[in-house]
Amino acid sequence: MEYFSHPLIKEKTIEKRVYQETIIATSSKKNSLVVIPTGLGKTVIALGVAAITLQKNKDKKMLFLAPTKPLVEQHKKFFMDATTIPKEDMCILTGLENPKKREEQWKNNRVFFATPQVVQNDIITRKETLEKFALIIFDEAHRASGDYAYTYIAKKYIENNKNPLILALTASPGGTE
């Protein structure tokens, strides 16, 4: 059995799959929408793209968005279990933290797992501009339409960042969820 090998991924943690490697290689270079069925490793792809991007941009940050608090927590746990990124560099941002604490978290952390509404509010209130972010991952990306916070965040990220990299993940493109 072969495993992914990268300085930010713990040894013998993530089993290598050729299709994931191919998607990671492409998605770490350009904005991508990854559409694959549930259970085929969208989070592993996110982890691979994040590892490459953070290693290449040591002074930059990363944001992983998911529509619900349980998904946000699940993604953070996966990254904590599978990466060598210091735990103190990772944080969760949901509506439960008070705005003052979130302001400190934006300054002091590098890897963020958040619900989109909180990030949108923090951009609107100027707690964060997304300028220092090398990557934003949008989980359940099929939700990104109309007034949903994903569309606002993506627009601001592209406006405020010289080299934005976006990874959008979904199992159901064009869904009405």
pLDDT (0 to 100) of residue 177 = 45
For domain 18-170, the question of CATH label 3.40.50.300 is answered with yes
| Residues ≥6 apart with Cβ < 8 Å to 79 | 47, 50, 64, 85, 90, 111, 113
pLDDT (0 to 100) of residue 25 = 97
Which residues of the chain, if any, have pLDDT below 50?
176-177
pLDDT (0 to 100) of residue 146 = 78
Q: Which residues pair with 136 in a beta bridge?
A: 63, 166
Whether residue 24 contacts residue 42, with contact meaning beta carbons closer than 8 Å, is answered with no
| CA 145 to centroid of chain Cα atoms | 18
| Token duo for residue 173 | 């493109």
pTM of the entire predicted model: 0.94
Give the span between the Cα atoms of 157 and 66, in whole angstroms. 16
Question: What is the number of alpha carbons within 13 Å of residue 3 lying toward its C-beta?
Answer: 10
Give the span between the Cα atoms of 28 and 154, in whole angstroms. 17
